[in-house]
């Protein structure tokens, strides 16, 4: 499997390569003790508290068996599989499906697709719900309601609408079209599992939403769409092994965390993820939640106000070379760019002959699209380096379950290490609560009367600023 090992190249983070805005060897050496502390903290606490996700590659044999059985049942019985969830319950499934399966999976013929169509509904836009209902027959659809807390309004709204439709169409048999994925004992969805008799999978306590792709949250949907979930978990375990030493030169996730930590200290408060592969496009969305929600914290573990975090931004190579790269090369020194590169794309297309009289076009002929995209990635890496901006590159030998498993686990580890280095709680999200509570108050949830009063008393808007 070593030929499928991910590679991290941090050369272009360093002052040697990019000059005064880069990281010096002395700066890197200075954070080595902090990185080692973060490593030790993780090593000692892994598998406990909110770090249950770290054991998912190893402790799911029974769960995987059950997932494969249920997936086989879904594949045989249903034409569509719809995920109802948001945040960590949706971004991983979307990213994995895009990475592994055909880019127009739903449009393939039934024979070629060889499984249900997949829809991941992660919003409460009524137009989107109506659009979904225009293209699926709920009777032929399995709905996977995913919410760890079992109380997320968006997901429970979707559940209420769909279960009502199913009951009207199928009566008592409606329960067969729902699979719930939730916490074993918290929230409302587990209560419904018990009262309605839905099939269910459990999200372990120590696995937070954004760290949940490798548990039933992501694995059921993947198995239903014929993705090899065992290989995915093997890839994660392989990355775990690659990161089993405290030495930053032998632990890529720790090296990446140390680099980002130093970069944040230098004012690089934006982290751009730029995959050079459409298959990895939505990995950037998944990363944005993981990095943003985990590290964006007002206070550290000692209660000091720190306003930590780095704003994640998604980009796509080569598409965004024609949109964002001008800013990244000539704009401020406030970013770290991560390029995701691929050694071998799963297919290739030779550029046809033509334009013999136009040398500026004809030079492309005979090359392949793979050569072109790789040349553009190298060229952009070079341009960013030449402009003195920090970047690093993670290369996947090929995009498959094993390498994507590595990538997911790499980022979960990097996030855990970076959070430990920043001295913050990586696994909570108190900043999300205010908006949630205000929504409850606005829609009249019992117990939120005081919040409603607080909202009603908010400063009136000045009409002068509404134009």
Q: Which is nearer to ligand PA5, 435 or 447 (CB)?
A: 435
418, 34 contact by CB (below 8 A)? no
Which range of residues in 75-83, 126-134, 149-157, 270-278 is near ligand PA5 by CB under 6 A?
A: 149-157
Alpha carbons 66 and 288: distance in angstroms, whole number? 31
Is 34 considered catalytic here? no
Alpha carbons 69 and 217: distance in angstroms, whole number? 16
Q: CB of residue 217 vs ligand PA5: minimum separation in angstroms?
A: 8
Burial class (CB in 10 A: 0-12, 13-18, 19+), 246: middle
Q: CB of residue 432 vs ligand PA5: minimum separation in angstroms?
A: 6
335 binds ligand PA5 (CB under 6 A): no
Instruction: Please report, as residue ranges, which positions from 416 to 455 form the binding site for ligand PA5 (by CB under 6 A).
Output: 429
Q: CB of residue 210 vs ligand PA5: minimum separation in angstroms?
A: 3
Local structure of residue 341 (DSSP, 8 states): E
Exactly one of 104, 322, 461, 464 is catalytic; which is it? 322
Helix, strand, coil share (%) of the chain residues, nearest 5: 55, 15, 30
Exactly one of 121, 293, 381, 412 is catalytic; which is it? 293
87 binds ligand PA5 (CB under 6 A): yes
- Alpha carbon of 258 to those of 18, 127, 255, 261, 414: distances in Å? 18, 44, 5, 5, 9
98 binds ligand PA5 (CB under 6 A): no
142, 80 contact by CB (below 8 A)? yes
417, 35 contact by CB (below 8 A)? yes
Q: How far is CA 6 from the centre of its chain?
A: 18
Q: Which of 11, 149, 387, 425 binds ligand PA5 (CB under 6 A)?
A: 149
Q: CB of residue 86 vs ligand PA5: minimum separation in angstroms?
A: 5
144 DSSP β-pair partners: 83, 179
297 binds ligand PA5 (CB under 6 A): no
Q: Which is nearer to ligand PA5, 283 or 385 (CB)?
A: 283
Is 21 considered catalytic here? no
Number of H helices, E strands in the chain: 18, 12
Q: Which of 54, 60, 98, 152 binds ligand PA5 (CB under 6 A)?
A: 152
210 binds ligand PA5 (CB under 6 A): yes
52 binds ligand PA5 (CB under 6 A): no
Q: Which of 22, 138, 208, 317 binds ligand PA5 (CB under 6 A)?
A: 208
Q: CB of residue 428 vs ligand PA5: minimum separation in angstroms?
A: 9
Which range of residues in 65-73, 82-90, 328-336, 370-378 is near ligand PA5 by CB under 6 A?
A: 82-90
Is 104 considered catalytic here? no
Alpha helices in 10-142 (DSSP H): 15-18, 25-45, 61-77, 91-100, 110-113, 126-135
Q: Where does this chain bind ligand PA5 (CB under 6 A)?
A: 86-89, 147-149, 152, 155, 208-210, 293, 429
By annotation, the residues acting in catalysis are 293, 322, 436
């Amino acid at each position: 499997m070593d030929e499928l090992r991910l590679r991290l190249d941090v050369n272009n983070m360093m002052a040697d390569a990019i000059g005064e805005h880069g990281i010096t060897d002395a700066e890197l050496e200075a954070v080595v003790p902090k990185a080692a502390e973060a490593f030790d903290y993780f090593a000692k606490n892994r598998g406990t508290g909110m770090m249950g996700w770290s054991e998912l590659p190893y402790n799911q044999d029974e769960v995987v068996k059950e997932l494969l059985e249920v997936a086989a049942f879904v594949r045989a019985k249903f034409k569509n599989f719809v995920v109802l969830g948001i945040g960590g319950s949706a971004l991983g499934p979307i990213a994995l499906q895009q990475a592994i399966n055909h880019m127009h999976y739903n449009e393939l013929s039934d024979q070629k697709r060889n499984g249900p169509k997949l829809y991941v509904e992660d919003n409460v836009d009524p137009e989107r719900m109506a659009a979904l209902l225009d293209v699926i027959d709920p009777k032929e659809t399995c709905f996977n309601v995913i919410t760890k807390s079992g109380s997320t309004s968006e997901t429970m709204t979707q559940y209420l609408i769909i279960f009502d439709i199913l009951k009207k169409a199928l009566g008592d048999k409606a329960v067969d079209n729902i699979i719930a994925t939730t916490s074993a004992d918290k929230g409302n969805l587990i209560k419904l599992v018990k009262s309605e008799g839905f099939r269910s999978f459990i999200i372990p306590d120590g696995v937070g939403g954004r760290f949940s792709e490798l548990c039933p949250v992501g694995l059921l949907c993947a198995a239903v769409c014929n993705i090899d979930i065992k290989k995915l978990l093997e890839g994660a375990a392989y990355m775990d092994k690659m990161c089993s030493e405290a030495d930053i030169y032998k632990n890529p996730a720790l090296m990446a965390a140390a680099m980002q930590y130093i970069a944040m200290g230098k004012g690089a408060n934006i982290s751009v993820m730029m995959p050079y592969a459409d298959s990895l496009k939505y990995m950037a969305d998944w990363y944005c939640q993981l990095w943003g929600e985990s590290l964006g914290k007002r206070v550290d573990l000692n209660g000091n106000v720190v306003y930590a975090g780095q704003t994640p931004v998604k980009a796509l190579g080569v598409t965004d070379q024609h949109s964002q790269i001008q800013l990244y090369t000539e704009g401020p020194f406030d970013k770290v760019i991560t390029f995701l590169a691929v050694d071998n794309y799963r297919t290739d297309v030779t550029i046809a002959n033509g334009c013999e009289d136009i040398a500026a076009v004809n030079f492309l002929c005979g090359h392949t699209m793979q050569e072109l995209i790789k040349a553009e990635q190298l060229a952009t890496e070079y341009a960013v380096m030449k402009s003195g901006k920090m970047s690093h590159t993670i290369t996947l030998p090929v995009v498959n379950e094993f390498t994507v498993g590595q990538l997911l686990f790499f980022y979960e580890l990097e996030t855990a290490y970076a959070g430990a280095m920043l001295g913050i709680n990586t696994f909570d999200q108190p900043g999300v609560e205010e908006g949630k509570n205000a929504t409850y108050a606005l829609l009249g949830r019992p117990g939120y009367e005081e919040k409603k009063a607080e909202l009603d008393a908010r400063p009136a808007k000045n009409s002068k600023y509404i134009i």
